[in-house]
Structure 1
Amino acid sequence: MIPLSDDNPTLRTPIVTYLLLGAIGATWVFVQGAGLDAKVLSASVCNLGLVPGELTGLAPPGLAVPLGPGLDCVVGNEAINRFTPITSMFLHAGWGHILGNCLFFWVFGNNVEDSMGRLRFLLFYLVCGLAAAAAQVVVDPASPIPVVGASGAISGVMGAYLILYPRVRVNMLFIIFIIIRVIPLPAWVVLLWWFGIQVITGLPQLNQLKPEGGVAVWAHVGGFIAGLVLVKLFENRALTSQRTGWRHRLHPDHP
């Protein structure tokens, strides 16, 4: 299932959402070379990505992790490591990674910003990203594998959306062999399904005898839970009430 849009217009231009998408895109192009040069991409992931074992000191310095043919990421103790929970939020591992994250953020981010206000939303996004990073470190504290992506912070936005707009329709693209359909589903169905997939996928990674690389699903889980827990702290109730009244005037039959 791929989200395409939702039936949830905004009252205000989502400036922070646009700026964050712009920052992610600019980082991909100007820092990571748009993925066109494997050495540049690998260097950005290695040097600016979150390596749990570097933060905790549990990964031995000098340990090399292969990132591609002839490309290794070596565990170190550089000063930049302490900032990687932030820098890693703006990095991605490939075109599919960044496009998928940006699509989810495009669909869900603007409405959450509209309900929090711009500054609150920016702080909320960053806090959820940090919570996602913390979750990944807790699950695999000695991992020497760099973790990158905005998906932890975006997961927090999705958790907030679940609380704020559970019954709003989200237009989901289904592709089954040669059958292509766009089906509107309630946001709670879409988001809980997505969250359940993350948990199921991440359960094998809890076996500390078999640390795994790949998708940092526990960062997704941690970010989503942070969004659920923190949304009411960051919500601007005046903006939410204004949005609710406006939506009811536009769609009097909708909940």
Structure 2
Amino acid sequence: MIGNWNTTAARTLRSLRGTSAPMTYTLIAVCCLIFVLGPVSGLTPSYGTGEALAAAQRAYFRHWGVVPADLFDGPAREALTPATALFVHGSWVHLLGNMLFLFVFGAMTEERMGRVQFTLFYIGCGYLALLGYAAANATSQQSLVGASGAISAVLGAFLYLFPSARVTSLLPFLFFLPLRFPAWVVLPFWAALQWLALNQASSGPGVAYLAHLVGFGLGFGYAWVRYRKKKGAKRGPGRAVVGDGRATKVRSAPAPAPEGENQP
């Protein structure tokens, strides 16, 4: 049994080392593993059922998620929660939506930034996105979980690094017809939707749209500061270039999943 586990782990590590974006896939794997082992997945019998399961979920979110009131007026360990919350999700839909977007946009961004820089960028921007939301809602007792702040930063960086990359989008109001648009059309449109939703959102449990916008702005700003000189030297206008100079294409994806349902 142990031998089989060691063999499987070794093969997984070799596979990750052989990819061009190992940290993207590692982050996806870690988020999925944490979710499956936690009380929200419904796959771990030890958390019980009914009210016992609901209580376990509330305690889980409060311990690992960001509670703004505790973050600014609580014990020192609360300062770590904007980092731990990045790996906790509130539902299967929340998890799968976020991981799909990380899979689609994270790999190319990691290839451009490099493994170490991408990992620090992802965690740092995700931390600041949740911190920004908490600062704007400093008295809230609701817990906040999810990787959407970090993934929104990836979208912002992707927009700057690959503005002409063609993104296949499925639009509900056009009967989900697959349409291809450049990133400079799709991603600002997504950001505009987050802004509109933020202005209409209530103060109760729901989606933390502000964390999306903070993450998106941080990601775009970081890429602009870090790569603005190199970008002009390596690629001409109106064309995203990766490696051999071919125009970049990315897979289809829906809008990013909600930022960690504020838990009651």
TM-score band, normalised by shorter chain = 0.7 to 0.9
Q: Is the alpha carbon distance of 1:112 and 1:245 closer, same or farther for their aligned partners in structure 2, counting shifts above 3 Å?
A: closer
Cα deviations across residues 57-91 of structure 1 (Å, max 9, x unaligned)? 2xxxxxxxxxxxxxxxxxxx455422111110001
Q: Is residue 2:50 matched to residue 1:43?
A: no
- State the 1:144 CA deviation: 0.5
Cα distance in structure 1, aligned partners of 2:247 and 2:100: 26
Q: Is residue 2:208 matched to residue 1:192?
A: no
Please, which runs of 5 or more residues in structure 1 have no aligned partner? 1-10, 58-76
Q: Match for residue 117 of structure 1?
A: 114
Aligned residues: percent identity? 34
Cα distance in structure 1, aligned partners of 2:184 and 2:42: 34
Q: Match for residue 161 of structure 1?
A: 158
Q: Is the alpha carbon distance of 1:153 and 1:245 closer, same or farther for their aligned partners in structure 2, counting shifts above 3 Å?
A: closer
Cα distance in structure 2, aligned partners of 1:29 and 1:230: 33
Cα distance in structure 2, aligned partners of 1:136 and 1:220: 9
Aligned residue for 1:173, secondary structure, equals strand
Equivalent residues in 2 for 1:70-109 (5 A)? 77=74, 80-109=77-106
Q: Match for residue 210 of structure 2?
A: 218
Cα deviations across residues 160-206 of structure 1 (Å, max 9, x unaligned)? 001011111011123348x331111111111101111111111256x
Contact residue 21 and residue 110 of structure 2 kept, 8 A: yes
Of the structure 1 ranges 226-235 and 132-141, higher mean CA displacement relative to structure 2 is found in 226-235
Cα distance in structure 1, aligned partners of 2:177 and 2:242: 32
Select which of 148, 152, 158 maps to 1:151: 148
Cα distance in structure 2, aligned partners of 1:40 and 1:233: 43
TM-score normalised to the size of structure 1?
0.76
Q: Is the alpha carbon distance of 1:33 and 1:94 closer, same or farther for their aligned partners in structure 2, counting shifts above 3 Å?
A: closer
- State the 1:47 CA deviation: 1.2
Contact residue 140 and residue 211 of structure 1 kept, 8 A: no
Please, which runs of 5 or more residues in structure 2 have no aligned partner? 1-17, 44-52, 249-264
- State the 1:56 CA deviation: 1.6
Select which of 164, 174, 180 maps to 2:176: 180
Report the count of equivalent residues: 216
CA root-mean-square deviation: 2.7
- State the 1:244 CA deviation: 2.6
- State the 1:41 CA deviation: 2.9
Q: Match for residue 126 of structure 1?
A: 123
**What amino acid is the match of 1:46?**
R
TM-score normalised to the size of structure 2?
0.74
Q: Match for residue 29 of structure 1?
A: 36
Aligned residue for 1:131, secondary structure, equals helix
Select which of 5, 17, 21 maps to 1:14: 21
